[in-house]
Amino acid sequence: VVVVESKSLYKPADPEDVSLRILLVDDEPHIREALSEFLTTINQHQVVTAGNGEEALGLFKPDEFDCAFLDLKMPGMDGIGLLTRLKEADQSLPVVVMTGFPSLDAAVGTMRQGASDFLIKPFSLQQVKATLERVVREQRLLRENLRLNEELKQKEKIESLNKELEKRIKYQNTIHQISEKIDLLQKSEELYQGIADLAAFHLAASKVTVLVVDRVNDQLLIIAVHGLSQEVVGRTAGTLQSGICGKVANEGEPMIGQPGQDLILDSILELKDPYLCQPIKIRDEVFGVMVATEKRNGQPFSSKDLFLGRFLLSKSALAIENIALYESMVADLHSTLLSLVGAMEAKDSYTRQHSRRVTSLSVLTAQRIGLDLAQIESLQFAAYLHDIGKIGIKDMVLLKEGKLTTEEYEHIKQHPVIGESITKAMDLTDAERSIIRHHHESWDGRGYPDGFAGEEIPLLARIVAVADAFDAMTTDRPYRVAKSRSEAVEELETCSGKQFDPEVVRAFLDTLSRYHTMEELDRDAAARDDVLTALVV
């Protein structure tokens, strides 16, 4: 069947050609032998032979063979069966089918199964060589192609991983930005507005509303808005029993609402597009709802928006809880300090209401000078506490009716330092604490406890010093009767530039001149005192 040609006809092996490993399967031994011998002579190809399909499968291992020659007609598993199995094991293996009974059907069948070529028996060895070279070349191209495809896939995979990574970094950054911004917000009012502004920015929504749940009155109250008129703040936006917001408040899960579902909400929040409605929870308890609408890119809200919204709201809820705890602690502390002052004044009938009057006079003077709100708030709080250190002064000294001995005077001079140390453990600002420590310093440096002079003495303490002196002069003391208002004014003028800051004395006297009587000043101050009460209790 095989026409064996003279070896002299063979071209020398291409030095670039590598030695191939070839599987040769034929049930006719002489064909196996002749072909095997021939193939071995080309480039020292290694030939592994098998007499049938089963044997061939036993010898075959994927990636160990570069090519296979199969006889189509064999007892047991035929060539097509073997071809199918080999292709299953190694997709890129070139398979040459040899047959002595060519038919179109058989040809189509084998090609379908992935055969690379046909050899029709009888064939010349030259044909075998040419076929081998061609299929191996094709196989190399195929493998190269597969490799390139693999590389491409790998590249695409890396690109998509990079994109995913970029997305995550962006997320991380957004989350970090939200966290940082929220950490900067110190008061609950600021926080609600912060939620609205941050949600508008990160969810790319034109309008955001923050509502609080009022379960007592069964309603939702607008507490902050972005992209809407501030006039709606404080208004009711529906009940807890109706609408999407009510459902979100009751069930604690986010929802997408459609305009037309809740007419009250639609009209107040100007809802024209679908809106995202998310609960604000502290420990699983819903206390607010955020409504965001009108995406700036016109797209619907995505799962990313939902995630960012949820993060923003849970982070804000933590901050709200902390602020609420802090605010109630501060309120507790302030009321403790105020009652300490009350206890101290109760001991001494002469100084009763002294702290309140000094506070009023100091605040009015500070306003006259034009100090800012933060300074006035500090003054309002700390002027009231200026003598709190007297709680540490012995009653026999504090309440003594006669003249104080030097020792007793030195003891009483301790009260600014004692006062400062009482408030040290408490949450007072440096400015507030310095009022308590320095309210007995003198402009000429002859005061106590530090002997500070001029502008070295904090301005707020210089103000309290004048107000304190004026009130002391105009009140009865155990050792002397009160001076009249004009006498006290005269005394301040005399001491201006010596004991007191002249500018503070000027502002103080200007303020005083606006009131005919101390009662009038008291009434005005009492009205302002309400502000103090609202601030600290």
Smallest distance, Fe ion to C-beta of residue 427, A: 22
Nearer to Fe ion, 387 or 501 (CB): 387
Smallest distance, Fe ion to C-beta of residue 471, A: 10
Span between the terminal Cα atoms of the chain, in Å? 113
Q: Give the span between the Cα atoms of 487 and 482, in whole angstroms.
A: 10
Nearer to Fe ion, 276 or 464 (CB): 464
Smallest distance, Fe ion to C-beta of residue 473, A: 13
Nearer to Fe ion, 345 or 387 (CB): 387
Q: Which tokens go with 73?
A: 């007609």
- State the Rg of the chain over Cα: 48
Smallest distance, Fe ion to C-beta of residue 468, A: 6
**SS3 state at 392:** helix
> Which residues contact residue 170 at a Cβ distance below 8 angstroms, ignoring those fewer than 6 apart?
none
Q: Give the span between the Cα atoms of 177 and 175, in whole angstroms.
A: 5
Smallest distance, Fe ion to C-beta of residue 448, A: 10
Nearer to Fe ion, 169 or 343 (CB): 343
Smallest distance, Fe ion to C-beta of residue 337, A: 16
Q: Which tokens go with 125?
A: 């060895």
What are the strands, taking DSSP E only, across 30-116? 46-50, 67-71, 95-99
> Which residues contact residue 128 at a Cβ distance below 8 angstroms, ignoring those fewer than 6 apart?
35, 38, 39, 69, 119
Nearer to Fe ion, 157 or 446 (CB): 446
Q: 316, 182 in Cβ contact below 8 A?
A: yes
Residues interacting with Fe ion, by CB under 5 A? Answer: 387
Q: 207, 199 in Cβ contact below 8 A?
A: no
Nearer to Fe ion, 237 or 469 (CB): 469
Q: Give the span between the Cα atoms of 448 and 135, in whole angstroms.
A: 107
The total number of residues written for the chain in this structure: 537
Beta bridge partners of 48: 23
Smallest distance, Fe ion to C-beta of residue 339, A: 19
Q: 390, 358 in Cβ contact below 8 A?
A: no
Which DSSP state fits 477? B
Task: Tell me which amino acid residue 200 is.
Answer: A
Nearer to Fe ion, 193 or 442 (CB): 442
> If 0-12 CB within 10 Å is exposed, 13-18 middle and 19+ buried, where does residue 43 land?
middle
**Is residue 210 within a helix (H) or strand (E), and if so which, with residue range?**
strand 205-214
Q: Give the span between the Cα atoms of 98 and 63, in whole angstroms.
A: 22
Which DSSP state fits 227? S
Q: Which tokens go with 443?
A: 């402009």
Nearer to Fe ion, 262 or 387 (CB): 387
Smallest distance, Fe ion to C-beta of residue 283, A: 46
Smallest distance, Fe ion to C-beta of residue 506, A: 23
Beta bridge partners of 286: 281
Q: Which residue is nearest to Fe ion (CB)?
A: 387
Smallest distance, Fe ion to C-beta of residue 387, A: 4
Q: Give the span between the Cα atoms of 344 and 415, in whole angstroms.
A: 12
Nearer to Fe ion, 117 or 387 (CB): 387
Whole-Å CA distances, 338 to 388, 416, 460, 533: 9, 17, 19, 10
Q: 222, 265 in Cβ contact below 8 A?
A: no
Residue 307: CA atoms inside 13 Å, Cβ hemisphere, count?
A: 8
Smallest distance, Fe ion to C-beta of residue 413, A: 9
Nearer to Fe ion, 279 or 447 (CB): 447
Nearer to Fe ion, 294 or 420 (CB): 420
Tokens 């303490």: give the residue: 461
Nearer to Fe ion, 66 or 387 (CB): 387
Q: Give the span between the Cα atoms of 358 and 367, in whole angstroms.
A: 14
Smallest distance, Fe ion to C-beta of residue 361, A: 14
Nearer to Fe ion, 371 or 383 (CB): 383
Smallest distance, Fe ion to C-beta of residue 524, A: 24
